[in-house]
Amino acid sequence: MRAELRGLAGPVALPDGQPVLLGRGPLTGVTDRKCSRRQVEIVADYAEGTARVTQLGVNPSSVGGSVLGRGVCRTLSPGQTLLLVNGKYPLVLHLQGSPRPKKRPPSPSLEPPPARRAPQDPSPPQGGWQKVGALLVFTPSGVRPSTKIAGFDLDGTLITTRSGKVFPTSPDDWRILYPEIPKRLKQLRDEGFKLVVFTNQLGISRGRLRPELFQAKVEAVMERLGVALQVLVATGPGVYRKPVLGMWDHLCEKANGDVAVSVPDSFYVGDAAGRPPNWAPGRKKKDFSCSDRLFALNAGLRFLTPEEKFLGWAPAPFELPAFDPRHLDPKAPPEPPKDELVSDKPEVLLTVGFPGGE
Picking from 310, 331, 350, the residue at the C-terminal end of a domain is: 310
Q: What is the pLDDT of residue 111?
A: 46
**143 and 80, same structural domain?**
no
Report the CATH number at residue 50. 2.60.200.20
Q: Is position 150 within any domain?
A: yes
Q: Please provide residue 293's backbone torsions phi and psi, each rounded to the nearest 5 degrees.
A: -65, -40
Supply the pLDDT for residue 313. 96
- Residue 48, domain member (yes or no): yes
Burial 220-233 (b: 16+ CB within 10 A, else e): bbbbebebbbbbbb
The answer to whether residues 300 and 293 touch, using CB atoms and an 8 Å cutoff, is: no
Are residues 203 and 91 part of one domain? no
Residue 355 within a domain: no
Residues 45 and 135 in one domain: no
Are 143 and 221 in the same domain?
A: yes
* In-domain check, residue 323: no
The pLDDT of residue 78: 87
Structure confidence at residue 356 (pLDDT):
55
* Residue 92 placed within a domain: yes
Q: What is the pLDDT of residue 355?
A: 61
Residues 6 or more apart whose Cβ sits within 8 Å of residue 335: none
166 & 302 share domain: yes
Same domain? For 290 and 192 the reply is yes
Instruction: Kindly state whether residues 145 and 87 are assigned to the same domain.
Output: no
State the pTM of this model: 0.72
Q: Residues 77, 221: one domain? A: no
In Å, what is the CA distance from 308 to each residue of 63, 229, 265, 287, 293? 34, 21, 17, 15, 13
Q: 334, 341 in Cβ contact below 8 A?
A: yes
Total number of domains in the chain: 2
Domain assignment present for residue 248? The answer is yes
Show the domain range for 29: 2-96
pLDDT by position in tens, the chain (length 358): 789 998 878 889 999 999 999 999 998 999 999 999 999 999 999 999 999 999 999 999 988 778 888 999 999 988 888 889 888 888 888 888 765 555 555 544 444 455 544 444 444 555 578 999 999 999 998 899 999 999 999 999 999 998 988 888 877 889 999 999 999 999 999 999 999 999 999 999 999 888 988 988 898 899 899 999 999 999 999 999 999 999 999 999 999 999 999 999 999 999 999 999 999 998 889 999 999 999 999 999 999 999 999 999 999 999 999 888 888 888 887 777 777 777 888 888 888 776 655 5
In-domain check, residue 117? no
Q: Are residues 69 and 147 in the same domain?
A: no
Residue 92 CA to chain centroid, in angstroms?
16
Q: Are residues 279 and 230 in the same domain?
A: yes
Residues 6+ apart with CB under 8 A from 42: 5, 14, 19, 20, 21, 22, 51, 52, 53, 54, 76, 82
Q: What is the pLDDT of residue 352?
A: 79
Asked if residue 87 and residue 141 are part of one domain, the reply reads: no
Q: Tell me, what's the pLDDT at 337?
A: 77
Same domain flag for 60 and 167: no
Taking the C-alpha atoms of residue 263 and residue 340, their distance in angstroms, rounded to an integer, is: 39
3-class SS of residue 96 = strand
**Which residue among 293, 310, 327 closes a domain?**
310
* 214 in any annotated domain: yes
The predicted pLDDT at position 317 comes to 95
CA distance 64 to 67: 8
CATH code of 287's domain: 3.40.50.1000
